[in-house]
Amino acid sequence: MLIASRRALGLPLVPAFTACLALAACRGELDVEIETSVGTRAHRDDPKAKLEDVREVARALLLPAPDTATPSTAPAGPARPPTSVADLDDLVAAIRKGALDEIGGPARRIAAAPVGLWPAVRAALQAPRRAPKGDYRSMLAAIGGDVPNRYGHFDLAWKKAHGFAVKRSEGWFEDLLVLPRSKISPVLTPVYRDVVLQTALLRAASEIGKDPNTSDQVVDVLLEVAYLHEGTFRDEVTRAIGGIGDEAVVPLLRATIVGDDPDEARLQRAEYAAAQLDRMDRWIPARAEAALSSEPRRLAALFDAWGQAHNGNAAAILLAHADSRIPSVRLAARRAFSGLVEGPPPKTISRRVRLLGGGTGQAQAFLNHRQLAAIAVRDALVKVDPTALEAPCEPVVAGEPIDPRCEGQPARHTAALFATLDARRLAESAAAIDAAMAAADPRATQESLDRLLAERPELGEEPRVAAAYRRGASEALADGDARRGAALSRKAAVLMAARDPQTAETLRLQALLAEAESGEVPAWGRQMLLRTADQLRPGDPHVAAALGTGPAAAFEATATLPGERIALGCACVVLGFACLGGITRRRVA
């Protein structure tokens, strides 16, 4: 049957005949016949249908169909990003007007656009789209692109979540680039080009948004683009925001702040930002804090955003960082929590409740941020200093005036808590410094201070630490240890730069002179150090005396040393080529 099938297809008979000979050599006779058929019994009994099935199988196995060609192939390596606005414009023109088979390269280059081209990328993202939304929906149906309906709902996402077997693209960019050309209608080809360009720009924005300097701008633009052109690209915008990662958390939190009298667009934007935070699992304060706690910069920005949003659910987390060893985190946590307990009283939202007697009344719907902060600070004071607690106030009855004393109680509790934490931290710092100072060996004292400053940088504000380094520098210089004296002088200068700039400058000058006179640097290095000292404090007698006693000509002589070395190297190269040429000529002769 195999030979007959291949004869019917017009294929060579040698491979089939060879297979038959191999089977005959292994066994005496062929007693097994394999027949493959497709379809119903009537279909299998039809010779023409059977022959067509064999041809289809052979075509699939031996002759791949040419229709698998796609408008773009996968890149061999990372795309080369555009270097200028003109370069980006040329890539955009290549996508809009170039050959359809070659738009993958320009698209991937646009997706790799650097941070410096963000203004041009932003302008291209915000540009109006000319084709109607229905054309985009029809074109994106080929890859399963989910476009929201007029109510803002995504039909494909709903169907897939409820068990329907639907095709839904999880990344439009790559799916568009591998889409076969036969599935692109000539009428929708301009729309296809525009969608490829838009998805490439969204990819670029997602990568640019990872830069802390541009993350706020990128997120704001993406929140705007999500609703342009009737929200056609909102599904891909959601993936672009998620691709930014944790750098997008703080801008999204700020976008959820709507103010006292927001318009419909502002409410829509805030709702979408909250949905993105929930999708990233960063809407709940505890999870956001756990995700950003490894980087103090992000954590401090998160606390500031909570303070601006008056997020009372984050009150306990803010107090947990109110005594952080990192000054920026501690300051941001205290500033955000103070915003919860200070300022005008928040509005209370009431709801109607049914009473036991059958009537109705008004009750508070939920606790506002001031009440949540009051509970958190009271719980913290119970653990830190119970003596600072005031008598609890009675709950506020709807419609009655607020007692000013009770309204200011959370702020007073907060001030007492922060004062207790500061006193405890200062006591711990003083005890740590005392323990370091108690060492008999001055070197051991300085090593202990180095470890303490590495763990708790705020200890550098203690004057005794800088004094210990100054004393150690003087002792090292008196003992003739210039290197150690210079290092300790620089440490003391850094610690005293904010409190006493003049003394810090003197210490830096002392370090430069000590290194210059240590004898461990060459003559030109000594002159360089002394000239730096002369620029730091012109006319200083110590620097002038050191410059006068040292070999000043040595530095001038070494200034020409690199040029002489280059000349000598060039001469050696020329001589080498001359010798090589002579040897070559001898061999040729």
Count of C-beta atoms within a 10 Å radius of residue 560: 10
Which residues partner with 351 through β-bridges? 363
512 pLDDT more than 80: yes
Within-domain flag for 325 = no
Query: 410 and 444 share a domain?
Result: no
Given pLDDT bands bounded at 50, 70 and 90, which one contains residue 116?
A: very high
Q: What integer is the mean pLDDT of 16-40?
A: 49
Pair 473, 364 in one domain: no
- Does residue 173 sit in the same domain as residue 275? yes
Q: What is the pLDDT of residue 22?
A: 45
Residue 549 pLDDT: 63
Do the domain assignments include residue 581? yes
**Per-residue model confidence (pLDDT) at position 89:** 95
Residue-wise pLDDT tens digits, 66-95: 444 555 555 556 789 999 999 999 999 999
- Contact status, residue 179 vs residue 67, Cβ threshold 8 Å: no
For residue 184, tell me if it sits in a domain.
yes
Beta bridge partners of 354: 360
To 10 degrees, what angle do helices 327-341 and 369-384 make? 120
Regarding whether 274 and 235 lie in a shared domain, the answer is: yes
Cβ(68)–Cβ(180) below 8 Å: yes
Same structural domain, 137 and 232: yes
pLDDT confidence of 49, banded at 50, 70, 90? confident
Same domain, 111 and 246: yes
Residue 582 to residues 394, 573, 577, 587, Cα–Cα distance (Å): 107, 14, 9, 9
Contact 468, 437 (CB under 8 A): yes
20 has a pLDDT exceeding 80: no
- What are the tens digits of pLDDT across the range 531-563? 898 888 888 888 888 887 654 333 332 333 344
pLDDT tens, residue by residue, 146-159: 999 988 899 999 99
Domain end marker among 423, 451, 466:
423
Tell me the Cα Rg of the chain: 38
Same structural domain, 405 and 470 = no
Chain mean pLDDT for the chain: 82
Residues 364 and 412 in one domain: yes
Distance CA 233, CA 139 (A): 13
Q: Within this chain, do residues 545 and 589 fall inside the same structural domain, yes or no?
A: no
CA 343 and chain centroid, separation: 34
Paired tokens of 467: 């004094």
Give the pLDDT band (50/70/90) at residue 12: very low
Position with higher pLDDT, 433 vs 82: 82
Buried b (16+ CB within 10 A) or exposed e, 314-323: bbbbbbebbb
Region 381-390 average pLDDT: 92
CB-hemisphere CA count at 13 Å for 541? 0
Sorting pLDDT into bands at 50, 70 and 90, what band is 44? Answer: low
What is the average pLDDT across 312-332? Answer: 94
Q: Within 10 Å of residue 225's Cβ, how many Cβ atoms? A: 23
Residue, of 360 and 68, whose pLDDT is higher:
360
Please tell me the least confidently modeled range out of 30-44, 221-235, 320-334.
30-44
Specify if 301 maps to a domain: no
Domain limits at 462? 439-550
Q: Does residue 539 belong to any structural domain of this protein?
A: yes
pLDDT in tens, 266-310: 999 999 999 999 999 999 999 999 999 999 999 999 999 999 999
Rounded mean pLDDT of 458-465? Answer: 84
Same domain, 392 and 447: no
| Shared-domain flag, residues 546 and 566 | no
Q: Which among 186, 245, 241 is positioned nearest to 218, based on CA atoms?
A: 241
State the number of CA atoms in the 13 A half-sphere of 441 facing the CB: 4
Q: How far is CA 363 from the centre of its chain?
A: 44
pLDDT score recorded for residue 267: 92
Helices (H), 112-233: 118-125, 133-140, 155-161, 172-177, 189-208, 215-225
Lowest mean pLDDT among 72-86, 403-417, 465-479: 72-86
Q: Which residue has the higher pLDDT, 41 or 414?
A: 414
Domain termination site, one of 283, 306, 333: 283
**pLDDT mean over 467-494:** 89
In a domain, 322, yes or no: no
The pLDDT of residue 24 is 46
Q: Is residue 355 part of a domain?
A: yes
pLDDT at 14 over 80: no
Domain count, the chain: 5
**Domain assignment present for 148:** yes
- Would you call 404 exposed, middle or buried from its count of C-beta atoms within 10 A (0-12, 13-18, 19+)? exposed
Q: What is the mean pLDDT of residues 357-383?
A: 83
Do residue 279 and residue 418 come from a single domain? Answer: no
pLDDT tens readout for residues 570-582: 444 444 544 444 4
Question: Higher model confidence: residue 244 or residue 584?
Answer: 244
